[in-house]
């Protein structure tokens, strides 16, 4: 087992690695990667919130019939993400034992961390992208010809400006903000991230007190990006990352909203609390040196009535 060592600034603030592969699959094929059923494979960790977005969107749009899914072990070793959940310890489609093999085959000069989600072209045997924000937007916009009947429009043209604005704030202070709390290596950097995180959680609490979703009257990309952090909050971020002003279950509006999303068909069944806890507590040994994974919290509350309409 190898622990994750976060990169930080001189001031002790967590710095996220930029995405390396940024090609796109497009409806007209102008990118060199055309939309095609059965051609691509999405590699994910069920523990990772960035990958979880893609899992949810793939499921909601019915793309699970067209894009295969490869799931890595939630525990990494010194070579990174492993395919030890598969028979023989190898991905059944590519034959790889580690995600790093696919990265280095696609770019032998790559020297960063091997991240999920990773979108892979099984024909060219190359990674198309690990650009997690764009992957889900392209699922909504470029893959429309393969959406199932009745699939939701998660990125409607009339709401995109508002969705993008909400996403930018939520990313900076919530999605990435919990990591900036957990991986800060100075008191000042931690407290700054902590204040920004809880300020940003208070803002949508007010908005969601009089509307069901973050943008408009329908489920959108903004809700999915927010949800993948919220569903991990009490299990790992509150304790492990010291984001502990209060638990999600102690935000009346956000807790009801999160349960509403969890109980939406295609969403809650993608959540694996066991893999989430094992990844964070057993991988970040600089934060949790014993590697002990907590038994709680009790997750039965996610299925209780949310009362939102």
Burial class (CB in 10 A: 0-12, 13-18, 19+), 136: buried
Cα–Cα distance for residue pair 114/206, rounded to 1 Å: 38
Instruction: Give the sheet arrangement for strand 126-129, strand by strand.
Output: 68-71, 40-44, 118-121, 126-129
Q: What share of the chain is helix, strand, coil (3-state, %, to 5)?
A: 45, 10, 50
pLDDT value of residue 1: 47
pLDDT value of residue 17: 82
Partners of 80 in the beta sheet?
A: 77
Pair of tokens at residue 27 = 């409806």
pLDDT value of residue 15: 77
Between strands 68-71 and 40-44, the pairing is parallel
User: Residue 291, by phi and psi: left (phi above 0), alpha (psi -120 to 50) or beta?
Assistant: left
**pLDDT, tens digit only, all 309 positions of the chain:** 444 557 777 676 777 788 899 999 999 999 999 999 999 999 999 999 999 999 999 999 999 999 999 999 999 998 999 999 999 999 999 999 999 999 999 999 999 899 999 999 999 999 999 999 999 999 999 999 999 999 999 999 999 999 999 999 999 999 999 999 999 999 999 999 999 999 999 999 989 999 999 998 999 999 999 999 999 999 999 999 999 999 999 999 999 999 999 999 999 999 999 999 999 999 999 999 999 999 999 999 999 999 998
Give DSSP secondary structure letters for 225-251: HHHHHHHHIIIIITTTT---SS-GGG-
Q: Give φ, ψ of 308 to 5 degrees.
A: -95, 145
Helix (H, G, I), strand (E, B) or coil at 22: strand
Catalytic positions: 48, 179
Q: Is residue 217 a contact partner of residue 211, using CB atoms and an 8 Å limit?
A: yes
Partners of 120 in the beta sheet?
A: 41, 127
Cα–Cα distance for residue pair 93/294, rounded to 1 Å: 34
pLDDT value of residue 16: 76
pLDDT value of residue 4: 55
Cα–Cα distance for residue pair 125/123, rounded to 1 Å: 5
pLDDT value of residue 13: 73
Task: Count other Cβ atoms within 10 Å, centred on residue 272.
Answer: 17
Helix (H, G, I), strand (E, B) or coil at 138: helix
Closest CA to 132 of 49, 254, 29: 49
Pair of tokens at residue 111 = 């020297």
pLDDT value of residue 14: 79
First to last CA, the chain: 46
At the second CATH level, the architecture of 157-271 is Up-down Bundle (1.20)
Q: Is residue 232 a contact partner of residue 241, using CB atoms and an 8 Å limit?
A: no
Cα–Cα distance for residue pair 83/74, rounded to 1 Å: 10
């Amino acid at each position: 087992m190898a622990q994750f060592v976060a990169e930080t600034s001189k001031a002790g603030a967590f710095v996220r690695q930029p995405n390396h592969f940024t090609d796109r699959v497009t409806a007209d094929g102008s990118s060199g990667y055309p939309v095609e059923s059965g051609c691509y494979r999405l590699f994910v960790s069920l523990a990772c919130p960035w990958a979880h977005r893609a899992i949810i969107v793939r499921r909601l749009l019915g793309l699970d019939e067209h894009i295969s899914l490869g799931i890595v072990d939630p525990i990494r070793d010194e070579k990174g993400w492993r395919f030890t959940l598969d028979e023989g310890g190898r991905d059944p489609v590519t034959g790889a034992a580690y995600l790093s093999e696919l990265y280095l085959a696609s770019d032998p000069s790559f020297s960063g961390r091997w991240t999920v989600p990773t979108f892979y072209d099984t024909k060219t045997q190359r990674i198309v992208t690990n650009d997690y924000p764009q992957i889900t937007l392209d699922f909504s916009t470029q893959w429309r010809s393969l959406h199932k009947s009745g699939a939701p429009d998660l990125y409607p043209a009339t709401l995109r400006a508002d969705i993008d604005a909400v996403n930018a704030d939520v990313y900076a202070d919530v999605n990435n903000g919990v990591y900036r709390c957990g991986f800060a290596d100075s008191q000042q950097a931690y407290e700054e991230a902590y204040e920004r995180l809880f300020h940003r959680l208070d803002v949508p609490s007010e908005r969601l007190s009089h509307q069901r979703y973050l943008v408009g009257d329908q489920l959108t990309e903004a809700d999915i990006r927010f949800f993948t952090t919220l569903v991990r909050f009490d299990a790992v971020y509150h304790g492990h990352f010291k984001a502990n002003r209060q638990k999600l279950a102690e935000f009346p509006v956000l807790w009801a909203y999160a349960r509403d999303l969890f109980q939406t068909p295609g969403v809650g069944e993608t959540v694996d609390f066991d893999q989430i806890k094992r990844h964070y507590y057993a991988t970040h040994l600089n934060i949790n040196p014993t590697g002990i994974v907590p038994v709680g919290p009790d997750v039965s509350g996610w299925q209780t009535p949310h009362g939102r309409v």
